Each structure stands twice: as C-alpha cells, then as structure tokens.
C-alpha cells in the first residue's frame, strides 16, 4: 500500500554553485559513497543534483521535514543500475515507525534540471 509520494526538481547550476562556493556543502549533504558514485558519472554536478532532489523527495514521501544534520541519513546509491535509497539513524527509525517496507526511486536530468520521484510503501 502506498504511504506517500514525493517529487523534487532542482536546477543543476544551483547545486554546482553551492559546491564551488562552499566545499563544506558536499560533506554536509552527501556521504562519501555518494560523492564517489557521482565522480564516476559523465556529469558530476547533474548526478549530485539528482541525489539532492532524491533526498528532498524521500523526505516528502515520508512526511519528514529536512534539517541540515539529517541530509546524510538519506543515502542515494546506484546498485545494479537502479538508484536505491538507504536510510540511516533517525530517518531509518522514522521509516520503521511508519511501517515503510519499500522505497522506490526514479532519477532523471537534462542539461539544466534534475528531478527525483519517490514512492514509499507500507
């Protein structure tokens, strides 16, 4: 049964500016594994932006407000050519309390924008 859905779209240039303006931004928002995954992609900043949108979409699907310290508790990894959501710590506890058994994620981007769509199921 669907518990919630979330969608988020972001301008890739916005993420690029944030990374270039403040290198700390990467470590505050993304895990080391996410940064390494994106570094393997043809368009590094588009990949980061898609993951940023995914984190927002996950929080919307779960009905959770994001705080800066929570960003790394939602990790977006590429497994078997499919983007996968890995929840940690407080975010994992929230999803378990809500009875979430599956989170499906779709990512996409073009030259200027990245989008993520999430379905959380109980």
Catalytic residue chosen out of the listed positions 60, 88, 97, 102: 60
Helix, coil or strand: residue 110: coil
Is 60 a residue of the active site? yes
Q: From residue 104, give the alpha-carbon distance in Å to each of 12, 23, 54, 89, 111.
A: 22, 30, 11, 19, 24
Tokens linked to 96: 């378990």
Active site residues: 60, 109
């Amino acid at each position: 049964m669907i518990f919630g859905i979330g969608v988020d779209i972001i301008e890739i240039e916005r993420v690029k500016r944030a990374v270039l303006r403040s290198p700390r931004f990467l470590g505050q928002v993304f895990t080391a594994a996410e940064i390494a995954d994106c570094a393997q992609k043809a368009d590094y900043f588009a990949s980061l932006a898609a993951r940023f949108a995914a984190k927002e979409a996950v929080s919307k699907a779960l009905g959770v407000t994001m705080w800066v310290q929570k960003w790394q508790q939602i990790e977006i990894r590429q497994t078997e050519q499919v983007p996968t959501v890995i929840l940690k710590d407080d975010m994992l506890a929230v999803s378990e309390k809500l009875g979430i058994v599956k989170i499906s994620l779709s990512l996409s981007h073009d030259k200027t924008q990245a989008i993520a769509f999430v379905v959380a199921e109980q």
